[in-house]
């Protein structure tokens, strides 16, 4: 009688500690975890499909790729937190079974079976997290490749225009990973210096701004040739700069419509004047 009373007290203490009325309650808790995981399954499947479709996504707009990368990163963090919670729940159940072993040895086999089932669910969750992490890495790589191709094209366009306007091939502009602009100049000793772009003359800066606009316009529009609007961009240009610009503008105008608004009389006979009509 004494041994039975002690065993009953141990069982009651173990169940009270784990807020369970019986081992059957533990099974219900495990099932609840499985139900919560089911809510993530469709999202995980979508992410795995996204992983396989990276090659199709790589030509998507940059903003869309950035959104996909951010969303995957957030979901990966959520899944890792869920996995950590499930691992803790498994450890808790294992400890409870160890405490209950002495009090109710007849239920030990059933409890071990439930633990194995929970271990299998956690293992599947770990594989899901690995799939999500792989999809995130692939999308991140695609995003970086997409950004790199744009930066290269814009940089080439800027240098092509600036060399045509200034006649200087020793000065190179570089577009950084964050699309910041830097300048390198080869001096007479063939060593490179990196001057501050802000130290360029105002006329050169105006040329640079126009070159950037053209380079970005070409890259963003892709197959669509968009018109170029130039609004008094030559106010600070000297005579030599303006002479160099006119043939370049003429060359651009052969492939793209240019809308030129300027007070410079030297451009008065360039192009066709815009006619303003009263539609009323």
Nearest to 231 by CA among 210, 217, 251: 210
Report the alpha-carbon distance of residue 230 to residue 210 in Å, rounded: 8
The CB density around residue 118, as the number of other CB atoms within 10 Å, is 21
Report the alpha-carbon distance of residue 28 to residue 5 in Å, rounded: 28
Q: For residue range 86-106, what is the model confidence (pLDDT) as tens digits?
A: 777 777 777 776 666 555 544
Domain spanning 197-280, CATH class = alpha beta
Token pair for 154: 């814009």
**What pLDDT is stored for residue 274 in this prediction?**
76
Q: For residue range 209-260, what is the model confidence (pLDDT) as tens digits?
A: 888 888 888 777 667 777 888 877 777 777 777 777 778 788 888 888 888 8
Tell me the DSSP string of 57-116: HTTS-HHHHHHHHHHHHHHHHHHHHHHHHHHHHHHHHHHHHHHHHHH-GGGHHHHHHHHH
Residue positions counted in the chain: 280
Nearest to 72 by CA among 142, 144, 132, 141: 132
Each domain of the chain, given as residue ranges in start order, spans 2-148, 197-280
Sheet holding 192-193, edge to edge: 171-175, 181-186, 192-193
Report the alpha-carbon distance of residue 172 to residue 183 in Å, rounded: 6
64 versus 229: the higher-pLDDT residue is 229
Instruction: Please say if the pLDDT value at position 153 is more than 80.
Output: yes
Token pair for 194: 């990196």
pTM, two decimals, is 0.45
């Amino acid at each position: 009688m004494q041994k039975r009373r002690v065993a009953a007290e141990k069982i009651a203490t173990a169940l009270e500690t784990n807020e369970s009325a019986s081992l059957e309650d533990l099974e219900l808790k495990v099932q609840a975890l499985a139900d919560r995981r089911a809510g993530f399954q469709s999202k995980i499947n979508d992410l795995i499909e996204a992983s396989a479709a990276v090659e199709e996504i790589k030509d998507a707009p940059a903003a869309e790729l950035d959104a996909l990368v951010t969303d995957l990163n957030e979901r990966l963090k959520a899944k890792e937190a869920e996995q950590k919670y499930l691992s803790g729940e498994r450890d808790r159940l294992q400890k409870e079974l160890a405490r209950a072993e002495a009090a109710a040895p007849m239920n030990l086999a059933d409890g071990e079976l439930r633990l194995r089932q929970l271990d299998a669910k956690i293992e599947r969750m770990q594989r899901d997290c690995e799939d999500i992490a792989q999809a995130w890495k692939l999308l991140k790589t695609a995003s970086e490749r997409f950004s790199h191709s744009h930066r290269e094209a814009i940089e080439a366009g800027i240098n092509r225009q600036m060399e045509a306007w200034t006649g200087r091939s020793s000065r190179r502009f570089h577009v950084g990973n964050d699309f910041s602009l830097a300048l390198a100049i080869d001096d007479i000793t063939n060593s490179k210096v990196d001057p501050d772009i802000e130290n360029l003359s105002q006329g050169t800066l105006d040329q640079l701004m126009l070159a950037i606009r053209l380079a970005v316009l070409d890259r963003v529009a892709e197959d669509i040739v968009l018109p170029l609007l130039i609004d008094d961009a030559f106010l600070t240009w000297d005579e030599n700069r303006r002479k160099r610009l006119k043939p370049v503008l003429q060359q651009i105008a052969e492939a793209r419509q240019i809308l030129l608004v300027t007070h410079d009389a030297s451009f008065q006979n360039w192009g066709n004047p815009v006619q303003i009509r009263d539609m009323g």
